[in-house]
Amino acid sequence: MIYNYSLKELNTFGINVNALKIIKIRNFFQLCEIWKKYTKKSIPCLILGKGSNVLFLRNFCGIILINKIKGIYVSESKQFWNLHVNSGENWHKLVKYTIKKKMYGLENLALIPGCVGAAPIQNIGAYGVSLKNFCQYVDIVNPINKEIKRINKEECFFKYRDSIFTKNIYKNHVIISLGLSLPKKWIPHLNYKDFKNFNLDITPQKIFHYISNIRKKKIPDPKILGNAGSFFKNPFVSDTLGFKLLKIFPTMPYTIKNNIFKISAGWLIDQCKLKGYIQKGAMVHKKQALIIINNSNASGMDILNLAIKIYNIVGNKFGIWLEPEVKIIDDYGEIDPSTFFSKKN
């Protein structure tokens, strides 16, 4: 096979790998036609938006489909703005669009990278808000038989960085659009610790700009330092382990709900003195330990090996085994992360 198509500019880690072919998909019919054509030949297809949450380990033995299916359609009821958004729209541009049109609610989710189609898969969230607060449905298609199915919000089973779309049941489906409802009566979400100094004169625009500035400071520009944002999810642990850790580390940042502790993965990594740690071309970011960067022409395996090292060091120190947030892509598609991240490593 000849891999003539570079993916270096199509993944935010900047991993230098190739694919058999890259095709831009601009509508539903083109998606189904191309998907069916190549899968019949046993050639895998992989949908990419901005490539902001993937780690390629090696050349992809298939077709990369770049999602360019655009469109934002707005209707309204007495209480809500209702948006039907196609999956190829840029998420941050969607947030900017709603702010400009005075349809508020998404401002806490500003500057999250990627396209709309990726948002429901991991139930994107930031600063006390997640997609599940607004998502009413997700439309998916089976590209082989062109069957479209609408998954209502209750059926999405949204959880922290998880949904039904991470399960095998929808492995061969593609998200083509989603529906959002934004309340006309705006209520700011200011429970996150970063908002403690906000005054009463708060507006959606101020929250949007404030969060955008925070994210720019915390997360390095992938065009300069290749990265995928947070590599690991924040872990949930039992109250027994949580209170035990609090006795040892009284300043440990956490939240507790229903006797379950949610602990900062970045803090755990930082306690292991890993900030700035370099292994081959990969490095733990000096300012934010939760971010792994491509410091010097790292390969996908370089990034992965550093992540496994972090996983083992944190696990052995705290008894907490982190779960990767980034999707790991091998020759023929996504790999179950437990292949690499298990206590045996």
User: Is a pLDDT exceeding 90 seen at residue 3?
Assistant: no
CATH of the domain at 281: 3.90.78.10
How many H-runs (helices) and E-runs (strands) does the chain carry? 7, 21
Point out the least confidently predicted range of 2-6, 21-25, 230-234: 2-6
| SS3 of residue 134 by DSSP | coil
* pLDDT level of residue 342 (50, 70, 90 thresholds): confident
pLDDT at 297 over 70: yes
pLDDT score at 332: 93
pLDDT above 90 as % of the chain: 90
Least Cα distance to 244 among 230, 228, 263 occurs for: 263
Residue ending a domain, among 214, 232, 253, is 214
Q: Which residues of 22-31 are buried (b: 16+ CB within 10 A; e: fewer)?
A: bbebeebeeb
**Any domain includes 14:** yes
> Is 151 part of a structural domain of the chain?
yes
Establish whether 181 is a catalytic residue.
Answer: no
Tell me: the pLDDT tens digits for 113-127?
999 999 999 999 999
- Per residue in 29-56, pLDDT (tens digit) is 999 999 999 999 999 999 999 999 999 9
Q: Is the pLDDT of residue 290 over 80?
A: yes
Q: What is the mean pLDDT of residues 196-221?
A: 87
Q: What is the pLDDT of residue 190?
A: 84
Residue 206 and residue 131 share a domain: yes
Q: What is the domain extent for residue 135?
A: 72-214
Exactly one of 161, 163, 177, 181 is catalytic; which is it?
Answer: 161
pTM of this prediction? 0.93
Q: Which CATH number is 178's domain given?
A: 3.30.465.10
Residues 159 and 276 in one domain: no
* pLDDT exceeds 60 at position 344: no
Catalytic: 161? yes
Residue 199's pLDDT is what?
66
- Say whether both 57 and 187 belong to one domain: no
Give the pLDDT band (50/70/90) at residue 200: low
Is 147 an annotated catalytic residue?
Answer: no
Q: Contacts by 31-36 with C-beta closer than 8 Å and gap 24+?
A: 31/65, 31/69, 31/141, 31/143, 31/174, 31/176, 32/141, 32/143, 32/144, 32/146, 34/63, 34/65, 35/65, 35/143, 35/144, 35/174, 36/143, 36/144
User: Are 236 and 328 part of one and the same domain?
Assistant: yes
> Residue 36 belongs to a domain with what CATH number?
3.30.43.10
Please check the confidence at residue 167 and state whether its pLDDT lies above 60: yes
Position 233, amino acid: K
Is the domain of 206 the same as that of 241?
A: no
Q: What is the per-residue pLDDT across 222-241, written as a single tens digit (0 to 9) for each? A: 999 999 999 999 999 999 99
Q: What is the mean pLDDT of residues 73-84?
A: 97
Burial class (CB in 10 A: 0-12, 13-18, 19+), 178: buried
**Is 269 a residue whose pLDDT tops 80?**
yes
Asked whether residue 179 carries a pLDDT value surpassing 60, the answer given is: yes
Q: Report the mean per-residue pLDDT for the chain.
A: 94
* 27 and 98 belong to one structural domain: no
Q: Are 53 and 80 contained in the same domain? A: no
Q: Are residues 248 and 207 in the same domain?
A: no
Q: Are residues 116 and 40 in the same domain?
A: no
Q: Are residues 41 and 97 in the same domain?
A: no
Identify the pLDDT of residue 168.
87
Quote the pLDDT of residue 201: 80
Q: Could you tell me if 166 and 240 lie in one domain? A: no
Q: Which residues pair with residue 54 across a beta bridge?
A: 327
d(CA 171, CA 205): 38
Choose between 54 and 198: higher pLDDT.
Answer: 54
What pLDDT score does 136 carry?
A: 98
